[in-house]
């Protein structure tokens, strides 16, 4: 293959870019390439997403539809369910889910299925990059053999690289182009091509020595967050028993200009990364006879947080002379983080199921999620619709459970109209009125 020619096409932005999976990672990536002058095609099996892109509409709350429409109008972006077009791409980037299986083992079905699809259309001279989070060794030991099954060889006929996604939905300060990209390649040529590709769209590209190092970087980043969130979740429970406000402690501690980084407690972990990624490493560690006791302990603490919230709610109801059985509870916020419509692994879904298992009657309100979509693990909740957040509506509930602290929610008004408020996010911590109605959880 002609490496110099490929790099030249990447640098003058005449290369055609294919992004497989146009969800929370793939869509902003495709838009970033399009904004820098590349011709981009988004490939997805979901005809709804493809249709939305082709109509210039957004299905992600933090991505303006105007951005998609502008890229379409400029002729820089298109989307399709026809994967035969992969053969026309110069670079193919995989942004597909990597969930956990029933025993918390890596589920690489989306990666392997996509690799088989690519293999059917792979041609010499293409650059293939995996961005999906996974364990070290996936690119070399799983993806590469599938791509090579048709006879083309990595490094000789096509190039293979790995670059972990670093999307933070809803973070306006760090959009895709402002987040440095780590890149590892299967050989020097692959690394050089991948660096040349990402150099065109991000502030900095950081090459590392191997595919495995790049894969480990993503796990390290999210395990760091998971462990520290577990630590502060545990401290929250301890400080509650001591009568100490953990939020006040964190606010004071973060005034230290060195040696401390604030993390915040919550009702559990959400999003596609933090609840899942640590277990990719624990699984991989077991394969080489290593233990990850610290990571697994953090997982236990974070997984236990929804149960803690339900316990606090139950105790608060009991103090009011009521029981969870038959109580009407409003779950305020469904998405896993504020100001987005992303419900992947949201603790709100777990909380609703736990409360209903205790025979509570549960509704939810979320301005970003008007209806619960179909999910892999919470199929029974699909189709439920958000209720209005008015004083009359709140009066019908025995408790309001704050799960997501969206900026659009008037928490002062919520507390004023509610009989009982369980706050898992510290959204009410500065309020002075009606403090007797509020419990932290």
Q: List Cβ neighbours of 430 (8 Å cut-off, separation of 6 or more).
A: none
Q: Is 273 a catalytic residue?
A: yes
Using a 10 angstrom Cβ sphere, with 0-12 exposed, 13-18 middle and 19 or more buried, the burial of residue 267 is: buried
Radius of gyration of the chain (CA): 23
Q: At what angle do helices 293-319 and 211-242 cross, to 10 degrees?
A: 30
Terminal-residue alpha carbon distance, the chain: 59
Nearest residue to 188 (alpha-carbon basis) of 208, 173, 172, 174: 208
Q: What's the CA gap between 56 and 65, in Å, rounded?
A: 6
Active-site residue, selected from the candidate residues 79, 115, 195, 273: 273
Closest CA to 34 of 79, 88, 71, 73: 71
Phi, psi of 147 (to 5 degrees): -65, -30
Other beta carbons less than 10 A from residue 325's beta carbon: 10
Query: Can you tell me the distance from the alpha carbon of 380 to that of 87, in angstroms, rounded to the nearest whole number?
Result: 40
Going from the C-alpha of 124 to that of each of 121, 156, 159, 198, the distances in angstroms are: 10, 9, 9, 21
> For residues 247 and 299, is the Cβ–Cβ distance under 8 A?
no
CB 114 within 8 A of CB 142: no
Q: Which residues are catalytic?
A: 273
């Amino acid at each position: 293959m002609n490496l110099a020619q490929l790099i030249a096409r990447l640098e003058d932005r005449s290369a055609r870019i294919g992004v497989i999976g146009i969800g929370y990672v793939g869509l902003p990536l495709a838009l970033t390439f399009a904004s820098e002058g590349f011709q981009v095609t988004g490939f997805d099996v979901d005809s709804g997403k493809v249709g939305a892109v082709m109509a210039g509409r957004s299905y992600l709350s933090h991505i303006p539809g105007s951005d998609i429409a502008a890229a379409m109008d400029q002729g820089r972006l298109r989307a399709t369910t026809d994967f035969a077009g992969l053969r026309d791409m110069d670079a193919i980037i995989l942004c597909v889910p990597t969930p956990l299986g029933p025993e918390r083992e890596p589920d690489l079905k989306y990666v392997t299925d996509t690799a088989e699809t690519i293999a059917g259309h792979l041609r010499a001279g293409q650059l293939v990059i995996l961005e999906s989070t996974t364990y070290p060794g996936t690119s070399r030991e799983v993806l590469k053999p599938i791509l090579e099954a048709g006879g083309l060889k990595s490094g000789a006929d096509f190039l293979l690289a790995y670059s972990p996604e670093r999307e933070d939905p809803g973070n306006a300060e760090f959009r895709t182009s402002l987040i440095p990209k780590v890149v590892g390649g299967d050989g020097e040529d692959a690394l050089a091509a991948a660096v040349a590709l990402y150099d065109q769209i991000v502030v900095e590209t950081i090459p590392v020595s191997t595919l495995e190092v790049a894969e480990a970087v993503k796990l390290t980043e999210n395990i760091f967050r998971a462990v520290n969130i577990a630590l502060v979740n545990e401290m929250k429970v301890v400080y509650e028993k001591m009568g100490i406000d953990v939020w006040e402690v964190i606010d004071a501690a973060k005034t230290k200009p060195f040696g401390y980084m604030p993390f915040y407690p919550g009702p559990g972990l959400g999003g596609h990364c933090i609840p899942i990624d640590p277990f990719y490493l624990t699984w991989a560690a077991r394969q080489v006879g290593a233990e990850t006791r610290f990571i697994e302990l953090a997982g236990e603490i974070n997984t236990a947080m929804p149960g803690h919230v339900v316990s606090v709610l139950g105790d608060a109801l009991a103090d009011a002379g009521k029981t969870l059985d038959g109580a009407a509870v409003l779950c305020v916020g469904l998405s896993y983080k504020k100001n987005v419509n992303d419900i992947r692994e949201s603790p709100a879904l777990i909380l609703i199921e736990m409360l209903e298992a205790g025979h509570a009657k549960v509704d939810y309100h979320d301005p970003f999620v008007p209806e619960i979509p179909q999910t892999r693990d919470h199929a029974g909740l699909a189709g439920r619709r958000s209720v209005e957040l008015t004083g009359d509506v709140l009066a019908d509930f025995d408790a309001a459970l704050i799960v997501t602290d969206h900026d659009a929610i008037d928490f002062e008004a919520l507390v004023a109209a509610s009989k009982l408020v369980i706050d898992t996010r510290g959204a009410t911590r500065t309020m002075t009125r009606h403090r007797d109605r509020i419990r932290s959880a």
